[in-house]
Amino acid sequence: MPPELRPPLPPFTRETAAQKVRMAEDGWNSRDPQRVALAYTPDTIWRNRHEFPSGREQVIEFLTRKWAREVEYRLIKELWAFDANRIAVRFAYEWLDHNGQWFRSYGNENWEFDAQGLMHRRFASINDLAIAESERLFHWPQGRRPDHHPNLSELGL
């Protein structure tokens, strides 16, 4: 398989779109900027809150800053809709800042893929909610969310 081929490839079915979403969730839960960046085209275009990284190097810089600031990061993504080469997801993640404040960040992402299955465009809208530690819902050890852990719909999010 060529190194730039990232199955499943478009056009997506419900099954392959859901698989792509879970693969993205797993990658982001690794908190490894180098690994995550490989899922994107070399000239990827992003909008993430008020930042507009473009290209893998800027994505790596962005993610490195993000995960230095957002510790105890745990993410769940859920398929919302899909088309031939586009996927829409909703997500929530919980994280702790360096002052000891917990947050749950909610959002939506729109993704567009090239023919090799690499994400070319990623547009994210995100809102942060300060929560008490007792309100946390994501309690697995950092890393991949266990298969038995509830998804967003099951958690009522």
What residues have CB less than 8 Å from 106, skipping those under 6 apart?
Answer: 90, 91, 92, 126, 127, 129, 157
- Residue 2: the pLDDT is 55
- The mean pLDDT value for 35-49 works out to 97
Q: Within 13 Å of residue 97, how many CA atoms lie on the same side as its CB?
A: 11
Task: Read off the pLDDT of residues 51-77 as tens digits, 9 standing for 90 and up.
Answer: 999 999 999 999 999 999 999 999 999
pTM of the model: 0.96
Assess if CATH 3.30.70.260 describes domain 14-155: no
CA proximity to 151, closest of 90, 82, 103: 90
E strand or H helix at 50, and its extent?
A: none
CA proximity to 39, closest of 95, 88, 111: 111
Task: Read off the pLDDT of residues 129-152 as tens digits, 9 standing for 90 and up.
Answer: 999 999 999 999 999 999 999 999
Q: How confident is the model at residue 4 (pLDDT cuts 50, 70, 90)?
A: confident
